[in-house]
Structure 1
Amino acid sequence: MRAITKRELKAYFTSPIGYVCVATILALYGYYFFQVLMLRSSSYISNVYSTMFIWSMMIVPIITMRSFSEEMRNRTDQALLTAPVGVTSIVAGKFLAAFAVFAIAMVGTLIPVAVIGLFSAPEWALIFGNFFGSLLFGAAMISIGVFISSLTQSQIVAAIGTFGVSILLLVVDQLTGLVSNPVAVKLIGWLSFNTRYQPFTKGIFDISSLVFFLSVIAVFIFLTARKLESRRWS
């Protein structure tokens, strides 16, 4: 798994994808943090993360679109599948590499926060809650994106599919107003990524939300591994 992760991470940064994704996220965060400096109030820092949240989720499909689609398009997936590595290790390695790119960008956003903290007293619980929640949400979306990438040879289709799923998961809780069945309403609320993310934005470390996101990651890594397993035997 470590070899796969290193290989994929190197591939991200030997092509423009890794640099462009990280630079785009940091540039957008930098713009909003500049506005915080102009307002001269550290209380707006948590608003930066909430504003940037949707932008970050739009960049995740770009990070994951090449995971398996590129391998299939270039016919290098067969060499990968016949390597003496388990399919779960292959999927986990690709997931960790994609998540590392996202995490590098998110860690970079803490630099202006630290600078602002030298001159003020920001609410660190809210800041780290937003940061940690964004990492979890991003990791869950990356696992879904890697799975969608394993279904098609087209990187564009993989990116659009992941983007569509991310938008659906962001607005699914709004469907509760259209449903009258209390069981369905409860189910939608349970599946809503946004509902699970909200406690972290308030500085609350919610164990159930943590378990939920980790479960989503595990399920989609498992599904992707099974998809690869079927391709290996075919």
Structure 2
Amino acid sequence: MGAVAKKELKQYFHSPVAYVCIGVLMALFGFFYTQVLISGSSSNISYVYSNMFVWCMLVIPILTMRTLSEERRNKTDQALLTAPVSTMGIAGGKFVGAFSIYGLAMTMSLIPAVVLSFVGKPNWGMIFGEYLGALFFGMAMTAIGIFVSSLTENPVIAAIGSLGIAIFLMVIDSVSSAVNNPVLSKVVSWISFSTRYQQFTSGTFDISSVVFFLSVTVAMLFLTSRRLESRRWN
């Protein structure tokens, strides 16, 4: 798995993908932090991550779209599938590579908060809670994107598919509110990424949300490994 992750990271930094995704996220973080600074109230720091939730969900599919689809398109997947590594190791290595780029961007997003602390008193407990929430939903979305990428040899289709899932996970709350059904609302709130993430932005640390995001991550990586296993023997 380590060799796959190392190769994946090299590919990211030998192409513009990593730089563009990190640059876009940092520019957006800087913009929203500036809005907080202009407002003169560092207590509005949750505004930053609440807005960045949408952008992060939309950028992650760009990071994951080439993970497996391009290997298949370039016929390099055969070497990968015949290598002495398990399919779970391949999926895990791809995940570590993609999530490392996202995690780097999230860690760099704390820099403006440090700068803001010189002119105000931001709530670091809330900031770290939102930061952890961003990492957890990022893990789940990265795993989803890698699974979608394993289904096609076209990176663009993989990106569109992952974007569709991301948008669905963000708007499902509003869809359920239009239907007056308590059972449906409960199910939707349970699977909604927005609802789960809001628990972090409100300053509460709900272990059920952590377990949910980790479960989605493991499930998607397992499905990816099964997909790779089926192709290994075909």
TM-score range, shorter chain: over 0.9
The AA in structure 2 aligned to 1:161 is: G
Indicate conservation of the 8 Å contact 1:46/1:127, yes or no.
yes
* Matching residue of 1:29: 29
CA contact (8 A) 2:32 2:47 kept: no
SS in 2 for 1:127: helix
Equivalences, count: 234
Q: How far apart are residue 40 of structure 1 and its match?
A: 2.5
Offset of residue 116 of structure 1: 1.1
Deviation at residue 118 of structure 1 after TM alignment: 2.5
- Partner Cα distance (2:48, 2:228) in 1: 39
Per the TM alignment, residue 66 of structure 1 is displaced from its structure 2 partner at its CA by 0.4
State the TM-score, normalized to the length of structure 1.
0.96
User: 8 Å contact 1:128–1:203 — kept in the other structure?
Assistant: no
How far does the alpha carbon of each residue in 1:59-106 deviate from its partner, in whole angstroms, 9 at most, with x for none? 111000001011000000000000000000100010111110001011
RMSD: 1.2
In structure 1, what is the equivalent of residue 112 of structure 2?
A: 112
Shift of 1:119: 2.8
Residues 29 and 52, structure 2, Cα contact 8 Å, conserved in 1: yes
Moved more, 124-133 or 99-108: 124-133
Cα distance between partner residues in 1 of 2:14 and 2:122: 37
Query: Which of 160-169 and 127-136 deviates more?
Result: 127-136
Distance 2:33 2:197 in 1: 22
- Give the TM-score of the pair, scaled to structure 2: 0.96
Q: Which digits, 9 at most, give the CA deviation of each residue in 1:11-55, with x for residues without a partner?
A: 100111011110110011112222222222212221011112111
Where does structure 1 lack aligned partners over 5 or more consecutive residues? none
Distance in 2 (CA, whole Å) between partners of 1:14 and 1:198 is 36
Aligned partners of 1:31, 1:103: CA distance in 2, in Å? 19
CA distance in 1, matches of 2:33, 2:189: 32
SS at match of 1:83: coil
Q: What displacement does 1:56 show?
A: 1.4
Report if aligned partners of 2:136, 2:213 keep a CA contact under 8 Å in 1. yes
Map Cα deviations across residues 160-189 of structure 1 (whole Å, 9 max, x no partner): 110010010111122323444433332222
Find the counterpart in structure 2 of residue 215 from structure 1.
Answer: 215
Deviation larger for 175-184 or 49-58: 175-184
